[in-house]
Amino acid sequence: MSAVVVWAETTEGRLKKPTLEALTAGRKWATTLGEPLWAVVIGDKLSENIPDLIAEYGAEKLIRILSPEFSTFIPNAYARALAALIREKNVSYVVIPQTYDGRALAPLASIWANAALFSGITTIPEKQAELWVARRICYSNKGLEWIGTAHLPLIITLKANSIIPEKSPYSLTIEDFSFRPPVEDLRAKPVGVEKVSTDKVPLTEAEIVVSAGRGLKGPENWTIVEELAKVLGAATACSKPVADVGWRPHHEHVGQTGIQISPNLYIAIGISGAIQHLAGVASSKNILVINSDPEAPFFKAADYGIVGDAFEVVPRLTEAIRRYKEQHSH
């Protein structure tokens, strides 16, 4: 008997949202297959609360691959461990969240596990005749693609925000899988991390993103953007020229050459809506555009639009949301 295996990415004792999405997808896939759902954690130790969280989201077994070499993410070492598990346990179906680390892990593991790889899909694979079939976004949001494979094992990476995390509690057993990565997989050594913003929601996971462009005229004017983001609990982003001139840090740049995001709500302030910008944000579920030019191309891609001066509209919107939240919280 086989299983659906989810790579559970843990960060500082938390399960990230993409992992909850992956577990939810894995649970659904396992149920249609009639197979159990296992979660695998690779690391040097396991925080106490992780098993409960994993059980809450539908896993029946937690497989721990613990070794001191796994204290930080090294793609080759983690992939070697995951591939060893897939081979040894005859696993046919694997779900990996499409985070920074997930995207590095999946292609390596696919080769070493001799697996097919569906990357960045937005649906849970379905069996159609001989093939497993899923949908993904291609051409930078300008097209959808249906892909298929008859090759097993099949590894999928799931695009963030494609599946809503749902709890589905199971009772959990824990098993250790012992694996130590060969030294050749430890050649690239992480030697440090520079955090830019720890208090904010990461851009790729955020449900709401407030983004601004050249229309804001200068870096000193970003307070209104930050304040709107704050009342919404949103992440902040920007257009490319704004990052290029240093008004905002590079890691906020979204678009074709920046970060691709698909939040539930994307608010674009003083951004014209160039095709390369849309390439990174057009799969957002809802788009609100605030622009003083009624002809700005972004309105064509928007669900909601306010024609007006950002310096008047944005503070007013922030105030309205604050008022609404005060009235509706107890």
Partner 1 sequence: MKILCCISHVPDTTTRIQFTADGKALDRSGVTFIINPYDDFVLARAAELKEKNPTGVHVTVLCVGKNGASSTDSVDANLRKALALGLDEAVRIDAEPLDAFFVASQIAAYAQDKGFDLFLFGKESIDYNGSQVPGMVAALLGLPFISYATSIEILNGSAKLTREITGGKELIESPLPLVLSAQKGLAEWRIPNVRGIMQAKSKPLHVIAPLSVSPRVQTLRHEPPPPKGTFKKIEPERIDELVQELANKGLI
- Catalog residues that contact ligand FAD under the rule CB under 6 A: 213-215, 239-242, 255-258, 270-272, 274, 276-277, 280, 291-293, 296, 309-311
68 versus 143: smaller Cβ distance to partner 1: 143
d(CA 267, CA 324): 18
The residue to which tokens 């396992």 are assigned:
30
d(CA 326, CA 283): 31
For residue 245, give the nearest of 203, 213, 209, 200 by alpha carbon. 213
122 versus 221: smaller Cβ distance to partner 1: 122
115 versus 172: smaller Cβ distance to partner 1: 115
In the complex, least distance from residue 319 CB atom to ligand FAD, rounded to whole angstroms: 17
71 versus 286: smaller Cβ distance to partner 1: 286
d(CA 283, CA 295): 22
The residue to which tokens 């709500």 are assigned:
265
- Binding-site partner at residue 270 among partner 1, ligand FAD, none, CB < 5 to 8 Å by type: ligand FAD
In the complex, least distance from residue 276 CB atom to partner 1, rounded to whole angstroms: 5
78 versus 222: smaller Cβ distance to partner 1: 78
- Binding-site partner at residue 101 among partner 1, ligand FAD, none, CB < 5 to 8 Å by type: partner 1
Alpha helices for 213-309 (secondary structure H): 223-232, 240-244, 275-281
- Binding-site partner at residue 189 among partner 1, ligand FAD, none, CB < 5 to 8 Å by type: partner 1
In the complex, least distance from residue 311 CB atom to ligand FAD, rounded to whole angstroms: 6
In the complex, least distance from residue 5 CB atom to partner 1, rounded to whole angstroms: 18
What contacts 64, CB < 8 A, 6 or more positions away?
40, 41, 43, 46, 174, 175, 176, 177
Cis upstream peptide for 153 (omega within 30°): yes
